[in-house]
Chains A and B, each alone.
Chain A
Amino acid sequence: MRRYIKIFSTFARACLVRDMTFRVNFLLECLTSLGWMSMNLAFYLLIFSFTPEIGRGSGWSREPFFAFVATGLIINAIVQTLFMPSASELTEMVRTGGLDSVLVRPLDAQFLLSMHRFDFSSMANGLVGLGLLIWAVLRFPVAPPLIAWLLYPLLIVCGVAILYGLIIMLAAATILMGRNQSLYDFWFYITNFSRYPAEIYAGPWGDPLRTVCTFVIPILLVVNVPAGTLARPLSGEAWGMVVLTFAAAGISIGLSRIVFQAALARYRSASS
């Protein structure tokens, strides 16, 4: 384990050195990332100029909703910084046979494939997310209790774990399909469901979708549960969701490991 932590920190240091070598490019990447985020925030502000809350009686009025958005920014920033750059390289590695060189190394293939490249410019959004969270929480009519603050970072870790499990399963699909250029697109589209409160998915189509996105692909737990812990009182149902999120995180990590190993076992080299 200590060996892996040491390798992880070496990779992180190397990526940071590379980013700092091209400082202007790093700064531009931070700015474009912030630009995308600002556009979304402007869109939400526009929505709140038409409505007092999102979903009748849902409780997601402006400040709680911005705490929700901030939570999403923090979780996505962690995932984009630590895992996405490596995962997006996998597509070409499978197609060109570059994966072979990873498999012959005396290290765990999943570790090496999912954590060898980092994108520190994505952290900019996470920092803004933290600022937005503080701004929103200070405007809550009732301050979140201590237990909510204790649970919040743990639930953030669970959200990251669920998304990591999803990335690994998509990577496994890439290995099985030979090429999956839509991997990044699919990631974007599926995580799109987690961008809004679960309460919006209601009605004859929304209820089944909400059930699938909570219990089958637990994408709705990722942001909803940590944000809900801060923004709403911790009732009996809320505790149930907290327990479910912890369980979903554990299952995501375990299941993705099994699927990834099975995909690797079926991998046929593309190189000569």
Chain B
Amino acid sequence: MSTTANSERSLQASHGWFSGVRSWWRMLVICLEERLAYRTDFALGTVMRFLPIVTQVFLWTAVFAASSRTDIAGYSRDNIVAYYLLTMVTRAFSSMPSLAGGISRSIRDGSVKKYLIQPVDYIGFLLASRIAHKLVYYIVAILPFAAVLFFCRGYFPPAPDGLTIAAYILSLLLSFLLGFFLEATLGMIGFWFLEVSSIIFAYMLFQYLLSGHMFPIDMLADIPTGLTGVSLADIVRLLPFEYTAYFPAAVWLGKITGWELVRGILIEIVWLVIMIGVCRFVWWRGTKRYSGFGG
């Protein structure tokens, strides 16, 4: 009897595992078909994302030429170009287009309620579908990325050692998770406010400025805040945003090494744990006050 029950359980488990893999595979196929349906538009969009870098290269070349300096805040001109290219790689992991807007829309139009009555974890489902979206994006975008990075290889310093590369990859993966939970939490504000597009836009602005996407955070090191011995860079580093652009790029360029690197990774993990907790809490509180009517 017990042997039959065990074999049934193991059959169910293996069936569950297969059905899980099948769901993931289906999700991947749907994402791929969605992306490739308008491939000209998609390819154009991927290549165009590099255009602002071109302007930045010329801008910083002009700044260095006029200032007669060889470095600004510890960055040479080549370092700055490499930095912008590396932040683009980081943003390919940490940016979550339409995530916050999609969550708030599903709350507003009521489609979120199907996740409340089905045995599906909404946050888990969103994370799985985002991983699928990202995988598809990397499959399609890897060629333009590789071509641009190869073309601009002269701007990069020699490749770092294996440990630094491992830390870089880890920081990229953590930036993906941190970016996901930051934006998912933001979208859940929709439980309290019906229209959150302005809040999302304001967040995007701060994120763009404070993540180091606009310029390396080190450039704020000489800007005083009024507090003795505390610069603007010190304040910005208290926030989680730098891990979504600046940190991985600075790791690759060797700006963060040794104990500072270990500390940075640990702080990133702490921020991730905090954001997972906040996201779960906001979901729990939000669903408690949510009311849905009709089919």
Contacts and interface: CB of A to CB of B under 8 A. Distances in A.
Interface of A: 25, 28-29, 31-32, 35-36, 39, 42-43, 46-47, 49-58, 177-182, 185-186, 189-190, 192-193, 195-196, 199-203, 206, 209
B65 A39 contact: no
A51 B66 contact: yes
Contact of A182 (B41, B214, B219, B222): B41
Contacts of B291: none
* Secondary structure of the A contact surface, majority rule: helix
Interface in B46-68: 48-49, 51-52, 54-55, 58-59, 61-67
For the side of the interface on B, what is the size category?
Answer: 35 or more
B44 interface: yes
Contacts of B198: 25, 28-29, 31-32
Given A39-B209, A46-B215, A50-B72, A196 B51 contact: no
A49 B215 CA distance: 14
Contacts of B222: 49
Contacts of B41: 177, 179-182
Interface in B63-91: 63-67, 69, 72
Interface stretch (B14-22, B180-188, B200-208, B242-250): B200-208
Interface in B218-265: 219-220, 222-223
B157 interface: no
Contacts of B49: 185, 189
A55 B66 contact: yes
A39 B52 contact: no
Given A25-B195, A51-B66, A55-B66, A32 B205 contact: yes
A206 B62 CA distance: 11
A192 B205 contact: no
A22 to B, nearest CB: 9
B45 interface: yes
B72 A190 contact: no
Contacts of B61: 200, 202-203
